Structure 1
Amino acid sequence: MSYFIDVILPIPLDKEFTYSITENEAIFLKPGMRVAVQFGKSKIYAALVTKIHRDPPQVYEAKEIEHILDESPIVTKEQLELWTWISKYYMCTKGEVMRAALPSAFLLESETIILRNDKISIDESLLKDDEFLIYEALQYQSLLRIQEVINIVSKKNVLPVIKRLIEKDIITVQEEIYEQYKPKMVRYVKLHPNYSKEAALRPLLDSMTRAPKQREVLMQLFTLQAKATKPIKVSELIKQSNSTSAVIKTLIDKEILDEYHLQIDRVQFQGEIQDNFKTLNEYQLKAFDEINRSFQQKRVCLLHGVTSSGKTEVYVKLIEEVLVTGRQVLYLLPEIALTTQLISRLQEYFGEKLTVYHSKYSVNERVEAWNNVKEGKSKAQVVIGARSAIFLPFVDLGLIIVDEEHESSFKQYDPAPRYHARDTAIVLAKMFEAKIVLGSATPAVETYYNAKEGKYGLVTLNRRYGNVLMPEINLVDIKTKYRKKQMTGHFSDTLLEGINDAIKEGEQVILFQNRRGYSPVVECNTCGHSPQCPNCDVSLTFHSHKNQLRCHYCGYHMAMLQQCMACSSTELSTKGFGTEQIEKELIALFPEYVVGRMDQDTTRGKYGYEKIINRFEQGEIDILVGTQMLSKGLDFRNVSLVGVMNADNLLNFPDFRAHERSFQLMQQVAGRAGRTKKRGRVLIQTYNPFHQILQQVSVHDYTGMYKDQIEERHQYKYPPFYRLIKITGKHKDYNKVNNAINWFAKSLRNVFNENVLGPEFPPISRIRNQYHKNILIKIPQGQSLAKTKGVIKKMQLTFSSIKEFSGVRIIINVDNY
């Protein structure tokens, strides 16, 4: 009797594929286990089993699987349900979701191995140069990998050469699949069983008088054993006895010591747990009780608490309640920078129960975190991480906290799946019948609307912890300051005075500029030419630290020009400014103080964020300059002044969320000031101090901003009243993408009429040598979302069958905001 399995392959194809298995394999296999399968002519993938059945495929003959890779499922039933929802809602394939969800160590792909054919004799004179190089290399080593062949012949495309050698029967090719995850093994030692009795031990010690180093190692081993009951590491014994690994090896060889290995987790908690949970003040207690009351009727609750109101303490109390019941907790944060600061705070409360999961962790560390969560271990009861933590294999999820829920970092833009972690978390909570808290000082307009309409619970916390006053926000009119010559570089006299006063009083300052690099534009004073990126439609940004011009879209870089590329003039000047230029100006203005910078350039390493945050917390940095990383809920106790260098480039942006985002960003940055006893101060430099949003920021008027925005959204048909789907066409040929997307828009307009906007080229229409053109579809509340997506899918199928549009890539982004 035939048995079959359906599997998901980690490739962007829309359907699952069927393979045949034996009866014994059918008994052993379960959904969520991986099997190695051949797909195409020779490629082998690790595929994920979703179903075991007895229905053969109708269109093709099922291939047999190569072998089974797991002994138990690595993916749970709930995860497979979530993947299905994501692929349907965000209009992507399950293979793309699988690629995003699994740690890369689980996504095994085969590697092509090239072997010499020993069965035939070869006339070397008939070989071309590149063929001979490969043939010669195979005389010295048994096999070659593709990357090695690329290095040997110094060509990127080596497939034609390999094909010629296969045709001449000189080489054979096979696929090899290999595991990437290696558990961490630690070496331990103990006394050999021969010397476990005292009678055997005395003569041994007497015989070692001539080997004092070996004797010292043994004495230290006894001392360590007396102190603690846990196993003794080789590294620890070497350190304590001031010895070397050679001495240990000699003792093992003589069978005096016995060595063994134990597997340990790479990430472990070291430190003391503090039992003294902070007591909540009356406002936090009230918020805590209200959240629990709202959970009786609603699954989702929005905690709208002003900056520094102590939302984290309320979360800790909620987590504590869930842990008592033995269920798991997921704590989502928008930025890795935030996790570093929050981990140390939460570890004080939960110690070993905490697991961290984000992209700066190594592949092996992520696999271990994955396994701990799946096995429901106590060390993974509270999981804290960035958006990818939503994909972990939870077994009994009781609570999800989405902190700073308004943040755009929760949305994945590239590659697919283009999911939003906050919305996905709400679906995940429903699957486990768990509760979910969305927390923010400046909630997203859609979330606040849902709370106001009664879809979510709403709890407000409008007092700062310790009754500290909200920071005083002043707008500085730099247009007038420039006219009155009261500017020094990019600093107004008001801001310089504020920085001076704060530092003299031993306090710290944060300056916010939402642009990294030194200067966004380098321009020739003679002819006005500015160097552009050859791959994108943007000017190159000058980075003075490396004396380079860089493109922030594709990474292209070149040395800073000495003369204009167009007219050879040496008169070059920089326009605009980034964090690097602010840092340089500050060092010149305040030479006796320490200036730090926090942006993408300075936080590249695994502990990049940690180092800067720790230095700032310990008072080693007086003034910290940074991009929006600084606005994300960081808690610095000694900051009394925050300066926003230029508010206008946030406001004047072609996006329906520009004003909402500007308000959120400035309000969050302002929230870093005066978080303890003294009232903080915020200075916002702008050319237009009478702008409605800036006026609302200055008086912390979130509800005023919300009312304005919701009216505009209603009037112009934007979320939350209409859903949006953005369709982008990409191709290196301008005319091809233009014609293709015009056809697509015309077809959509036949169905959705005036609810189709575009097509149009975005402000930056070419990135990485690919032209982009966009269509925006607005879906009114009464219109079926599923049917709309069905129509788009059908059109996409028709589109892909039109020959003249071949090669144009269509990208669908649901809820693209």
Structure 2
Amino acid sequence: MTTPYFIDVILPIPLHKEFTYRISETEANFIQPGMRVAVQFGKTKVYAAIVTNVHQTPPEVYEAKEIEHILDEIPIVTQKQLALWTWMAEYYLCSKGEVMRAALPGAFLLESETIINKKELTIDESDLKDDEFLLYEALHYQSVLRIQEIIDILGKKNVLPVIKSLIEKGAITVQEEIYEQYKPKLVRCVQLHQQYRDEDNLRALLDQMNRAPKQKAVVMHLFTLQAKSEDPVKVNELVKASNTSSAVIKALVDKQVLEVYQLQTDRVQYHSDSVEDAKQLNPYQQKALDEIEHSFTDKEVCMLHGVTSSGKTEIYVQLIQKVIQQGKQVLYLLPEIALTTQLISRLQQYFGEQLTVYHSKYSVNERVEAWNNIRDNKSKAQIIIGARSAIFLPFQDLGLIIVDEEHESTFKQYDPAPRYHARDTAIVIAKMFGAKVLLGSATPALETYYNAKQGKYALVELTRRHGNVLMPEINLVDLKTKYKRKEMTGHFSDVLLENIQEALKEGEQVILFQNRRGYSPVVECNTCGHSPQCPNCDVSLTYHNYKNQLRCHYCGYHMAMQQQCMSCSSTDLSTKGFGTEQIEKELVDLFPDHVIARMDQDTTRGKHGYEKIINRFEQGEVHILVGTQMLSKGLDFRNVTLVGIMNADNLLNFPDFRAHERSFQLIQQVSGRAGRTEKRGKVLVQTYNPFHQILQQVSVNDYSGMFKDQIEERHQYKYPPFFRLIKITIKHKDYNKVNNAAGWLAKSLRNVFKDNVLGPEFPPIARIRNQYHKNILIKIPQGQSLSKTKAVIKKINTTFSSIKDFSGVRVIYNVDNQ
């Protein structure tokens, strides 16, 4: 009797264990870890699962099912990726299935789709209810229907009762079908038929074709295109070059003069005519580069603290060149997709087609192609630029990871799990490959700077701007005094308006920063004080002028702007506060002769939304750009001399221990967009509290002063980097259930961790999408073992899950909460 073979697989579901399935001996010889297999889980669902292990030990508790079929010929996930998934699941307290969902492009996550078939039996249609008859009738015209199509036919979401009833009546059958989402892009190419490849036949053909001049012209153009380039000639290229129609080419194919063939091609391609050499570094950059390279001999991680516009990118380029010459791959992480558009064009000048880009604005198919190119270590995938999700790619031989603007909170994933931090995960990946990590920022995160000061990371400082350009002059404008003296026009102080006028007169550009999108965050009735609230969340609705709508930024709920108060029917409504939209509208009234653009989540929805706005601004078509924190990232605009921060107070007065650090970083980064060429830039910060310590430190670029103050506060109040944090959020739509569950959990944790457990507390916005939230914070001192702490939390969580009263309550763990 042959010994049975088994595989362990990860399923893309939030369960903490791997599952075992049975396979045949031939399958066992073919299957390797990292391949996908289709497996049935539960009664009907079919999933694409990733194989982690092939063995001969049967599962103890259950009878192993057989797999449905093998989906890959070669592994799509590498061994190092599987090791990373295991580390992430343990460190960030989630399941491997959740990591798998985050890591793989959507096209790899095949799930079955329920297919409805009509039975051959004829049944009495008079027995059917209206909905059942509609569905049965539709199956006369279409042999199979998918669930989504049934929802459209019946015009309602819950169609399962109708399907169930038809199954019971024997009218239909149901099956699960797994389908592949990724389709390679095929391009039609054309070449001369085999028989005319030798010279005699070709001459005879051309003589014959004298009577068909159009067809002859097509063949001659084909020769010209082939002579120009070695690339295959596409059908549409030939049609364009010979100025003919596809009918002429079809006639030539029918005559067997030409033959058409399909060629698989990547959807994203870069075409650059020439590759430039890297720029010559100035002495300060060269010194920084030498220090970084020297630090890599004994340290794995180096922190490059360079002021804004000091030319950090040029240093990165030199490092990338050296790593690529060794035949290794480089990962370049950025905090925001907006940045990739500017950086790609800069790096392309140096590295041409060795560049691959990977981020969420790419389509499913484009991401699969990038994934495959990186896995196969193709020449076009030597440098990978991407946002945080790029850490999941199947690298083959990684030599360097650059984390640019490493302080940015967008490197932290909040929802769904795994709630990882890309910077910290990058350091773990680098260790697996024996690669080096360079963290770059003008305003490093306190934790990173502390690690560098303690000697855990190397520290390299770059204190001069490129070309010895002066740091921008930062002035604080006191709004309280300006309002008293009536020196305000809308939300603009007289100082800011004068400076904008001056900059525009000189033909320079202006950036204005306001960290709220929409027109106004609150609409209020002046008679009774009522303001429209979101029915699903504990927030007031934001007014959006361009759609004349009230919108909730948490759940997407929207309604038309009210003409009268919903409470007392008064028509005296006013707006309180202001967002980017209102600033834009005021600017249009104040500067009617200039072009004003807005850059926030509302204007950059499309795939190329960022690109369009940034390109227009770079080319000088837009004179004033208004935006949210997207603007603060390392964008490089040569002609901006003035930056205005409309209101610094809503950054500072935020209930979070990182609020002051974040405000400093944000204002400093936005300021860094000003005066990046000869003329010194100017920054105006409007505030009601100009004597605030953080604003004083920003105005003199005093990072070390801010670091010293904040680190003392963190030490005093037991926050990172001295204590680690795990934030636990309890969620449910029933207020009392959340209260009781949070109380029980906090008590159990307090029994073990004593005073290091804070809460449970309701956050400032306690209800989002009809779910109440309550938070517990666990602080872990430096001496305490992180793995043992997590083991205790898991144990308590297991007990919590088994309590009947708390069924349906979701518990979310956020390790290293940002």
Shorter chain as denominator, the TM-score bin is over 0.9
CA distance in structure 1 between the partners assigned to 2:171 and 2:92 by the alignment: 48
The runs of 5 or more residues in structure 1 that have no matched partner are none
In the alignment, is residue 751 of structure 1 matched against residue 762 of structure 2? no
The runs of 5 or more residues in structure 2 that have no matched partner are none
CA distance in structure 2 between the partners assigned to 1:274 and 1:201 by the alignment: 39
How far is 1:209 from its partner?
4.7
Deviates more, 1:365-374 or 1:195-204: 195-204
How far is 1:123 from its partner?
1.3
Alignment correspondent of 1:472: 473
Whether the 8 Å CA contact 1:272–1:348 is kept in 2: the answer is: no
Whether the 8 Å CA contact 2:192–2:258 is kept in 1: the answer is: yes
How far is 1:198 from its partner?
4.0
CA distance in structure 1 between the partners assigned to 2:567 and 2:346 by the alignment: 55
Alignment correspondent of 1:228: 229
Q: 1:201-220 alignment to 2 at 5 Å?
A: 201-220=202-221
Letter in 2 for 1:449: Y
Whether the 8 Å CA contact 1:131–1:161 is kept in 2: the answer is: yes
CA distance in structure 2 between the partners assigned to 1:779 and 1:297 by the alignment: 29
Alignment correspondent of 1:98: 100
Letter in 1 for 2:458: G
How far is 1:738 from its partner?
1.2
In the alignment, is residue 27 of structure 1 matched against residue 18 of structure 2? no
CA distance in structure 1 between the partners assigned to 2:315 and 2:82 by the alignment: 32
Letter in 1 for 2:118: R
Letter in 2 for 1:62: A
Whether the 8 Å CA contact 2:89–2:99 is kept in 1: the answer is: yes
Deviates more, 1:387-396 or 1:275-284: 275-284
CA distance in structure 1 between the partners assigned to 2:641 and 2:119 by the alignment: 74
Q: Could you give the per-residue CA deviations for residues 30-76 of structure 1, whole angstroms, max 9, x where no partner exists?
A: 10000010001111110000000110000000000111111111000
Change (3 A) 1:293 1:198: closer
Q: Could you give the per-residue CA deviations for residues 527-571 of structure 1, whole angstroms, max 9, x where no partner exists?
A: 111011111111111110111111101111111111110011111
**SS of corresponding position for 1:723:** strand
Letter in 2 for 1:374: R
Alignment correspondent of 1:166: 167
Alignment correspondent of 1:341: 342
Q: 1:212-361 alignment to 2 at 5 Å?
A: 212-361=213-362
Q: Could you give the per-residue CA deviations for residues 336-370 of structure 1, whole angstroms, max 9, x where no partner exists?
A: 00011000000001111111000111111111111
Alignment correspondent of 1:107: 109
Q: 1:304-453 alignment to 2 at 5 Å?
A: 304-453=305-454
How far is 1:226 from its partner?
3.2
CA distance in structure 2 between the partners assigned to 1:39 and 1:382 by the alignment: 39
Letter in 2 for 1:243: T
Letter in 2 for 1:432: F
How far is 1:223 from its partner?
2.4
Alignment correspondent of 2:628: 627
Letter in 2 for 1:395: Q
Deviates more, 1:683-692 or 1:221-230: 221-230
Alignment correspondent of 1:640: 641
Whether the 8 Å CA contact 1:426–1:436 is kept in 2: the answer is: yes
**SS of corresponding position for 2:296:** helix
Letter in 2 for 1:644: I
CA distance in structure 2 between the partners assigned to 1:469 and 1:417 by the alignment: 43
In the alignment, is residue 4 of structure 1 matched against residue 6 of structure 2? yes
1:15 to 17, 22, 34: 17
How far is 1:203 from its partner?
4.6
How far is 1:306 from its partner?
0.3
CA distance in structure 1 between the partners assigned to 2:225 and 2:60 by the alignment: 68
Whether the 8 Å CA contact 1:273–1:347 is kept in 2: the answer is: no
In the alignment, is residue 143 of structure 1 matched against residue 167 of structure 2? no
Alignment correspondent of 1:679: 680
CA distance in structure 2 between the partners assigned to 1:772 and 1:245 by the alignment: 62
Q: 1:686-765 alignment to 2 at 5 Å?
A: 686-765=687-766
How far is 1:133 from its partner?
1.3
CA distance in structure 2 between the partners assigned to 1:235 and 1:213 by the alignment: 16
Alignment correspondent of 1:599: 600
**SS of corresponding position for 1:406:** coil
Q: Could you give the per-residue CA deviations for residues 142-192 of structure 1, whole angstroms, max 9, x where no partner exists?
A: 111111111222221111111111122211111111111111111111111
Letter in 1 for 2:18: E
CA distance in structure 1 between the partners assigned to 2:245 and 2:354 by the alignment: 36
Letter in 1 for 2:37: V
**SS of corresponding position for 1:297:** coil
Q: Could you give the per-residue CA deviations for residues 677-700 of structure 1, whole angstroms, max 9, x where no partner exists?
A: 111110000000000000000000
Alignment correspondent of 1:782: 783
**SS of corresponding position for 1:46:** strand
CA distance in structure 1 between the partners assigned to 2:66 and 2:778 by the alignment: 44
Whether the 8 Å CA contact 1:445–1:706 is kept in 2: the answer is: yes
1:36 to 27, 34, 38: 38
CA distance in structure 1 between the partners assigned to 2:812 and 2:87 by the alignment: 19
Q: Could you give the per-residue CA deviations for residues 481-516 of structure 1, whole angstroms, max 9, x where no partner exists?
A: 000000000000000011011111111110000000
Whether the 8 Å CA contact 1:549–1:559 is kept in 2: the answer is: yes
CA distance in structure 2 between the partners assigned to 1:141 and 1:267 by the alignment: 36
Whether the 8 Å CA contact 2:600–2:627 is kept in 1: the answer is: yes
Q: 1:450-469 alignment to 2 at 5 Å?
A: 450-469=451-470
**SS of corresponding position for 2:523:** strand
Alignment correspondent of 1:523: 524
CA distance in structure 2 between the partners assigned to 1:309 and 1:261 by the alignment: 49
Q: Could you give the per-residue CA deviations for residues 182-237 of structure 1, whole angstroms, max 9, x where no partner exists?
A: 11111111111233344434454444455443232222223223333332110110
How far is 1:412 from its partner?
0.2
Whether the 8 Å CA contact 1:45–1:108 is kept in 2: the answer is: yes
CA distance in structure 2 between the partners assigned to 1:83 and 1:599 by the alignment: 33
Alignment correspondent of 2:493: 492
How far is 1:668 from its partner?
0.2
Letter in 2 for 1:3: Y
Q: Could you give the per-residue CA deviations for residues 415-445 of structure 1, whole angstroms, max 9, x where no partner exists?
A: 0000000000000000001000000000000
CA distance in structure 2 between the partners assigned to 1:714 and 1:395 by the alignment: 41
Letter in 2 for 1:8: I
Whether the 8 Å CA contact 1:273–1:350 is kept in 2: the answer is: no
CA distance in structure 1 between the partners assigned to 2:198 and 2:744 by the alignment: 88
Letter in 2 for 1:275: E
Change (3 A) 1:199 1:274: closer
Deviates more, 1:732-741 or 1:449-458: 732-741
Deviates more, 1:196-205 or 1:662-671: 196-205
CA distance in structure 2 between the partners assigned to 1:592 and 1:138 by the alignment: 61
CA distance in structure 1 between the partners assigned to 2:197 and 2:530 by the alignment: 83
Whether the 8 Å CA contact 1:642–1:682 is kept in 2: the answer is: yes
Whether the 8 Å CA contact 2:11–2:50 is kept in 1: the answer is: yes
CA distance in structure 1 between the partners assigned to 2:411 and 2:276 by the alignment: 32
In the alignment, is residue 548 of structure 1 matched against residue 557 of structure 2? no
Alignment correspondent of 1:58: 60
CA distance in structure 2 between the partners assigned to 1:747 and 1:813 by the alignment: 18
Q: Could you give the per-residue CA deviations for residues 447-482 of structure 1, whole angstroms, max 9, x where no partner exists?
A: 000000000000000000001111100000010000
CA distance in structure 2 between the partners assigned to 1:281 and 1:15 by the alignment: 54
How far is 1:262 from its partner?
1.1
Alignment correspondent of 2:197: 196
CA distance in structure 1 between the partners assigned to 2:254 and 2:28 by the alignment: 48
CA distance in structure 1 between the partners assigned to 2:706 and 2:222 by the alignment: 68
Root-mean-square deviation (CA, aligned residues, Å) is 1.0
CA distance in structure 1 between the partners assigned to 2:223 and 2:286 by the alignment: 53
CA distance in structure 2 between the partners assigned to 1:224 and 1:88 by the alignment: 57
Whether the 8 Å CA contact 2:476–2:686 is kept in 1: the answer is: yes
CA distance in structure 1 between the partners assigned to 2:757 and 2:373 by the alignment: 47
**SS of corresponding position for 1:121:** coil
2:82 to 80, 83, 96: 80
CA distance in structure 2 between the partners assigned to 1:347 and 1:39 by the alignment: 46
Deviates more, 1:409-418 or 1:289-298: 289-298
